[in-house]
């Protein structure tokens, strides 16, 4: 987006673009950051997990066998395979 605006405004007068380039670049960076925050917080709200939280440990149960407490409930739910 920055390069499109830069090429659009920079063709007429490069001196004006020298003063417009930095605010335009910083504005595009903050717009992208805002969109990224909106998407991330939407995912965190939808799934109920903050995946960037350093205190949480995801996947701690990987490789462990599941314990089935009641075998009758298992056969009722899944039937005979």
Q: What is the pLDDT of residues 33-46, one digit of tens each?
A: 999 999 999 988 88
The alpha carbon of residue 29 and the mean position of all alpha carbons in its chain are separated, in whole angstroms, by: 16
Quote the pLDDT of residue 76: 59
Sign of CA dihedral 34, 37, 39, 45: negative
Q: How many CA atoms lie within 13 A of 52 on its CB side?
A: 6
Quote the pLDDT of residue 37: 94
Give the residue with greater pLDDT, 65 vs 37. Answer: 37
Quote the pLDDT of residue 31: 93
User: E strands within the chain?
Assistant: none
Mean pLDDT along residues 55-80: 65
Report CA-CA distances (Å) from 9 to 2, 26, 61: 11, 16, 55
Quote the pLDDT of residue 38: 95
Per-position DSSP letters for 8-30, written without gaps between them: HHHTT-HHHHHHHHHHHHHHHHH
State the pTM of this model: 0.53
């Amino acid at each position: 987006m920055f390069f499109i605006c830069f090429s659009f405004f920079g063709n007429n007068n490069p001196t004006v673009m020298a003063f417009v380039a930095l605010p335009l670049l910083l504005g595009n960076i903050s717009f992208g950051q805002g969109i990224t925050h909106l998407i991330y917080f939407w995912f965190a709200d939808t799934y109920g997990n903050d995946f960037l939280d350093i205190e949480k440990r995801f996947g701690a149960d990987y490789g462990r066998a599941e314990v089935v407490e009641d075998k009758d409930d298992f056969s009722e739910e899944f039937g005979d395979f």
